[in-house]
Chain A
Amino acid sequence: MFKNYLKLAFKVLGRRKFFTFVSLFGISFTLMVLMVIMAFLDTELGANAPMSEADRMVLMDRVEFKTQFYDTIYQVDSQLVAGKMTYDTVNFETEEAGAMVSQGSPGLKLFRDHLEAVEPYEHFAAMFRRSFDVFQDGRKYSLSAKYADADYWKILDFNFLEGTPFNSNHVESATSVAVVTDRMAREFFGTDENVTGRELTLSGRTFEVIGVVERSRTSSVFTRADIYLPMSTADNQTLSSESLQGPFRGIFLAPSVNDVKQLQDNLHFAGRNVPIPPDMDDFENITIKAFTVEEKYAWNLFFDDEVKKSLSKFRWILFGTLGFFLLIPTLNLINLNLSRMVERSSEISVRKAFGADSRHILVQFLFENIIITLVGGTIGFLLALLVIYLINQSGALPDTILSFNWRVFGISLIICLGFGFLSGLLPAYRMSRQQVADGL
């Protein structure tokens, strides 16, 4: 039966070429846009290397010192008694008048003295970023370096093309070793092969390359860099600072997805209980922000005081955009499908005369529509691959390398089927109710 439907679906596609073009263009363009959006979201938020454990990560790079000012507002009653004005204070209230806030990245001391003791987590790594201008062979290179703890490599599963990451021995002994990205290796050494063992000098200190990793595809500041160096090789002034604010970030890996919320709550609690240092006694309280990967992404877009508010906005806008992109072409397709199916009312009546019931007709037209959508989806898929290639080549997203993996393909396929089902359901249902005599 479905073979018969399939034959008919392709015949119908070939019968009205302009209609088919309009229909397939709408479907493929819509699905192409959705697939590119899905690829973008998957690259930024999905569980892909080096953030394969994104669901278990808690990111910490904001600390806020705050003092709230209040105004006292008095309500005063007055009355004239025996020719003299008398005043009677009957009430007063306070309201927020303003705040003094200092917010930025945490200092290493905040992690080492107050947050590393918080549970539960499997691994924790502190890190900070620094830029270097390096001159080699008469050329200037601007490099982004990330100083990190050894556990950085246990949390983030970078793909090592050669060599190994630095370990705790390297960090403890401040060994001058480095891990570089393949892109940096190509630009700096002219090749990304046999780079281990080669040396480069940063601010007068020479580092030996012990590993080459594939460049991080996501734009996350927690992963992005050209070169990775042991934390202990950073300058002493940065490392030994007593300030609770500084250039550092921290990344925790919870034992399981279910532990993430607990870890966040415990970090927030620990943050509130950090004593105010003497040099910051103008402030009354400290708040830290411990994000999930998605929360961090959303907060970077909206910067709301409450992270949940940013997350909610992000999801509304995201799903609203996706819904809008699906709704308009779906309504259009419903209209097109209705006119296409009305042309086939004679066929529907013949099928019903020979034994088809409404269910058969509904299934047939839904099946046909899903087939057409899948054809459009295939074209959309190829277009999406092309667009992703062009975006990556153009550098329009300089810190993100879009990719189309099986997960994105699977989600796109579900969207395709849903799109075909939704745009075909109403027309198919209407036609399935047609009386036999009406089409003969």
Chain B
Amino acid sequence: MINIQNVSKVYRTDTIETLALQDINLQVAKGEFLSIMGPSGCGKSTLLNIMGLIDEPSSGQVELDGRGVSDYNSRKTARFRNEQLGFIFQSFHLINDLSVIDNVELPMLYRPDVSAKQRKELSAEALAAVGLANRQSHFPSQLSGGQRQRVAIARAVVGKPNIILADEPTGNLDSQMGDEVMQILIDLNENMGTTIVMVTHDERMAQKTHRLVRLFDGTQVV
């Protein structure tokens, strides 16, 4: 499903060169739930961004769903992200000026073949799946942290992507809400067969996934 081969990432400024990732080789199978752990600054989010086509590797190859994506132009990359990938961020990144349902339908806005009515129906379904059917017209500022992350999950899954990339999805939540969010991800993986790659600092959460990869100073140690 995800095939990372010899991927390195170097950030360059005029005076400094920072090696964020070095020769990473990683394969994630279809339906797998993988967690990535490591200390701050070890390159976890960079690796996730490269898998999500949000960032480009300095060298190496990335294959997603059997397709080499290195030579995709920006429009094709955007379409691939829209159809195949879903993102969950630590700080939710909801658009505060939009209602919950408008936030959830955001990925569907960029699918020209989906009508406005279908968008609303799919978004309502996704919200119901995360237990927020009665919060459609609320705004993010009216929700708790756990509810916001559930909205973010609904947004990530509304387009039925094959892969979900979650960057510390429980990082800003207390343990109870963190557990609730984690359970939603596990259900998604088990019931829908969605491949999930999750970056986390939380050993307890990582233990609930199928496989754990550890990074240290940009290199893969486990």
Contacts and interface: CB of A to CB of B under 8 A. Distances in A.
Given A353-B87, A354-B155, A440 B93 contact: yes
Contacts of A4: 98, 102, 105-106, 109
Given A3-B116, A360-B110, A352 B78 contact: yes
Given A354-B82, A357-B74, A1 B109 contact: yes
Interface string B32-75: 00000000000000000100101100000000000000000011
A328 interface: no
A437 B54 contact: yes
B97 A437 contact: no
A1 B82 CA distance: 15
Contact of A12 (B74, B89, B97, B106): B97
B74 A354 contact: no
Given A436-B54, A437-B55, A440-B89, A354 B98 contact: no
Nearest to B158: A354
Nearest to B80: A355
Contacts of A11: 97-98
Contacts of B110: 1, 354-357, 360
Contacts of A436: 49, 54-55
A28 to B, nearest CB: 23
Interface in B78-95: 78-79, 81-83, 86-87, 89, 93, 95
B97 A357 contact: no
Nearest to A439: B93
A347 B116 CA distance: 21
A435 B77 CA distance: 13
A130 interface: no
Contacts of B87: 353-354
B107 interface: yes
Contact of A358 (B74, B95, B97): B74
Contacts of B95: 8, 347, 350
Nearest to B102: A4
A15 B82 contact: no
What interface size band does chain B fall in?
A: 20 to 34
Interface in A77-136: none
Interface string B156-199: 00010000000000000000000000000000000000000000
A149 B81 CA distance: 78
Given A346-B93, A360-B110, A440-B54, A355 B98 contact: no
A261 interface: no
Contacts of A440: 54, 89, 93
A283 to B, nearest CB: 75
A140 interface: no
A15 B97 contact: yes
A355 to B, nearest CB: 2
A351 interface: yes
A357 B54 contact: no
B97 A356 contact: no
A62 B41 CA distance: 85
Interface string A1-36: 101100110011001000000000000000000000
Contacts of B105: 4
Given A435-B55, A440-B54, 11 more contacts: A1-B109, A7-B98, A7-B102, A8-B95, A11-B97, A346-B93, A347-B95, A350-B106, A352-B78, A353-B52, A354-B155
